[in-house]
Amino acid sequence: MSEPVRKESKNPDVSRRQAFVQLGVGSICAASAGAMVFGYEFLTPNVLYEPSPIVNAGKPDGYPPGTVTQDLPSGLYLVHGSEGLYALSAVCTHLGCLTAWKPELGIVACPCHGSKFRRDGSKIEGPAPRPLRWLKIWLSDEGDLLVDRSEELSRKQFVRT
């Protein structure tokens, strides 16, 4: 009996084994590339540049006596009361909403949850647990008002004009 003759495939197509090898190598290359991208993202610093907490509010003459001025970009109120100028945070102590000065009512009100505050920051009503924060305020050497939004005062501080 004669041995079966194996036919050599003259087909230029890839064999099944070679297809699985190429598929495996391609998968490993894709996974390696993804790992390198995530590794690079992990190792590069993600720095958050925040604006300075100290705000230059300008000259004291810009705040007439008896006025409440809201500075929206910096989130604070500059109040010129009978004792002098003082700064309050415009951020509600309930959930951090930005409050609004209501000149017709003479109060600061939170539009989100209804907390109301007097012009000295003390709470009138609403869910806010604390009064508005008093912020450190002083005159610079050039005569400008500077407010430090990061420093809350435990007692009231005024700038006399």
110 and 60 share a domain?
Answer: yes
Q: What residues contact residue 151 under an 8 Å CB cut-off, 6+ apart? A: 53, 135, 136
29 and 103 share a domain?
Answer: no
40 and 94 share a domain?
Answer: no
The owner of tokens 């501080």 is: 157
Q: What residues contact residue 61 under an 8 Å CB cut-off, 6+ apart? A: 161
Task: Convert 108-124 to b/e letters by CB count within 10 Å (16 or more is b).
Answer: bbbeeeebbbebebebe
The owner of tokens 């590069």 is: 44
d(CA 82, CA 103): 17
Q: What is the pLDDT of residues 85-104, one digit of tens each?
A: 889 998 988 888 889 888 88
| Higher pLDDT, residue 129 or 48 | 129
68 and 40 share a domain?
Answer: no
80 and 65 share a domain?
Answer: yes
Q: Is the pTM of this model over 0.85?
A: no
Domain tally, the chain: 2
- pLDDT class of 2 with cuts at 50, 70, 90: low
Percent of the chain with pLDDT over 70: 92
In a domain, 8, yes or no: no
Kindly report the CATH number assigned to the domain that includes residue 119: 2.102.10.10
Report yes or no: 82 and 160 within 8 Å, Cβ to Cβ. Answer: no
